[in-house]
Amino acid sequence: MSALRIEQVTTKKVIPKTEDLVFGKHYTDHMFVMDYQEGKGWYDPRIVPYESITLDPAAMVFHYGQTVFEGLKAYRTEDNQIKLFRPDENFKRLNRSSERLSMPQINEKDVLNYLKELIKIDQDWVPAEDGYSLYIRPFVIATEPNLSLAPSRSYRLMIILSPVGSYYKEGIHPVGIHVEEAFTRAVKGGTGTAKTAGNYSAAYKAQEKATKEGYSQVLWLDGIEKKYIEEVGSMNVFFKINGEVVTPELNGSILEGITRMSIIELLKTWGVPLSERRISLDELFRAYEQGLVEEAFGTGTAAVISPIGELNWNGKKMIINNKETGEVAKQLYETLTGIQTGKVADPFHWTVNVR
Ligand SMILES: *Cc1c(COP(=O)(O)O)cnc(C)c1O
């Protein structure tokens, strides 16, 4: 592990008031940067003032999208500790995404240590108010100036930090979902299991349709038969049908969420019947007609749990749990956010203290 270099700012920014926070708008005083060169490996890990970077216009990231990212959060506990939630899983997944994009592997432990140092330096930016947190965005870009179609031979890893507000200022409330049949998010063999830029910009067109129809997110179906449910927006999806919680099994096109993984572990220890399997829209609508669909919700780092109140499949509408948040969704939300903020015991040792 190379020695970490630290260059602190001379004047600190004014930290915005939590009520003025807008997602992804405000960044802390510092950022982490590390470079990679083929034959040399990763070098010059450093914490430097947050600032613009200079890249050659031919840098490969701009042309062929060789880039991966992660998203996780730091939370301030009531006794003023700062905690991360399963950050080792994020860096493992960053490496899996990189592997898919023919990008170099990082040393997960070293990078987690660098992240902790960065958060310590910018610790005043971790909000204390309930529901607020510091969003962490690690990402890697291909930097070699070269237009040939081959993996870049140089890369840059960066970590930037952004204080974020609560998704649920007025309390957790179910959203409406448009079922997308024309556009595809991902197919088996593609890049759906990787957090890579192209997956997200390719989803904007479907999101635009949903927004136009007054729905807040898209329900993605499998790209081959357009029959099986995969994800909702950029979240994994769960249904409670006739007492059993069902989530689509990882099939090579679904992104393996850390929230999803944690929910599966929680439900298992609670003894809630659970299955990871293929589930078709047809099956879901048939269960609905029999009055068996009890809950539906999306899961991911940003919102933790996002209950679904309505699904619209080509004009066929499904109203779930009277558009109210279900019991399982509520319990999961309270338990997960409780563990993250140190209010609830952490029997799984999911949290990691920054200081
Ligand atoms: C990040 C992401 C998720 C959720 O993953 P978490 O680790 O739970 O935040 C789900 N689906 C997609 C497509 C994602 O990009």
Global confidence as pTM: 0.97
Q: Which atom of ligand 1 is nearest to the CA of 258?
A: 7
Ligand 1 contact, 185 CB (< 6 A) = no
Model confidence at 171, pLDDT cuts 50, 70, 90, reads low
pLDDT tops 60 at residue 343: yes
- Is there an atom of ligand 1 within 6 Å of 247 CB? no
Determine the atom of ligand 1 nearest the C-alpha atom of 186.
13
Domains of the chain plus CATH, in order, are 5-164 (3.30.470.10), 175-340 (3.20.10.10)
Q: What is the pLDDT of residues 39-69, one digit of tens each?
A: 999 999 999 999 999 999 999 999 999 999 9
- Residue 230 to residues 35, 139, 222, 227, Cα–Cα distance (Å): 35, 25, 6, 10
Does ligand 1 come within 6 angstroms of the Cβ of 122? no
- 31 CA → ligand 1 middle, Å: 23
What are the structure tokens assigned to 117, written together? 């140092």
Which tens digit of pLDDT belongs to each residue from 268-310? 999 999 999 999 999 999 999 999 999 999 999 999 999 999 9
**Residue 170 pLDDT level (bands cut at 50, 70, 90):** low
136 within ligand 1 shell (Cβ under 6 A): no
Q: Does residue 191 have its Cβ closer than 6 Å to ligand 1? A: no
The model's pLDDT over 228-269, given as tens digits with 9 standing for 90+, comes to 999 999 999 999 999 999 999 999 999 999 999 999 999 999
- E strands, the chain, are 5-6, 30-37, 41-49, 67-69, 72-76, 82-85, 133-142, 154-164, 175-180, 217-221, 229-232, 236-241, 244-247, 274-276, 293-300, 304-313, 316-319, 351-353
Q: Which of 235, 251, 262 to mutate to test the pocket of ligand 1 (most atoms within 8 A of CB)?
A: 235
